[in-house]
Amino acid sequence: MVRRMREEDIPDVVRISEENFSTEAWGEAAFRRELTSPHSHPFVAVVNQKVVGYVVVWILYDEGTIMTLAVDRSMWGKGVGKELMRFLLKFLRGKVKKVLLDVRKSNVRAIRLYQRFGFRIVGERPGYYSDGENALLMEYLYTEEVSHEGQALSS
């Protein structure tokens, strides 16, 4: 189940962030700001009443930007990331024309997930991360016809 993030979720969300991101982990203050920011939409994935993943998306004008997304490592490969993406793309439909995100060039697992949902690599940001690694800029356009799984259909 995916639902809006709440104050009591923050300790679990911070733990998941720190577990997944070495130098770019968000802290407690950052997530608290997201709960009250008018352009931010933070969500959590919950399994057996435990927070096992999260996503934060910003909506500015006709564009959505996935700011951060992570899944508890113990839940990798169990569909949590897919469920967050399905929920998010459905939530954003009708609100934005496109969704953008940055992902580490070396994060093949995440890149494949995003591509399965119809995201395309549209650019590269050299030295984007604090350790000097490049980021890939990925984009999802709502003009594409999509299947029930969120995957782009071939023409």
pLDDT values of the chain reduced to their tens digit, one per residue, 155 residues: 999 999 999 999 999 999 998 778 899 999 999 999 999 999 999 999 999 999 999 999 999 999 999 999 999 999 999 999 999 999 999 999 999 999 999 999 999 999 999 999 999 999 999 999 999 999 999 975 554 455 554 43
Of 113, 43, 46, 47, the C-alpha closest to 77 is 113
pLDDT given for residue 147 in this prediction: 46
Q: Answer whether residue 154 is part of any domain.
A: no
Q: Answer whether residue 148 is part of any domain.
A: no
Q: Answer whether residue 147 is part of any domain.
A: no
pLDDT given for residue 104 in this prediction: 95
Q: What is the pTM of this model?
A: 0.89
Q: Answer whether residue 84 is part of any domain.
A: yes
Domain of 43, in residue numbers = 2-141
Q: Answer whether residue 153 is part of any domain.
A: no
Q: Answer whether residue 150 is part of any domain.
A: no
CATH of the domain at 99: 3.40.630.30
Q: How many domains does the chain have?
A: 1
In sequence order, what are the residues at sequence separation of 6 or more whose Cβ sits closer than 8 angstroms to the Cβ of residue 72?
Answer: 16, 19, 51, 52, 53, 80
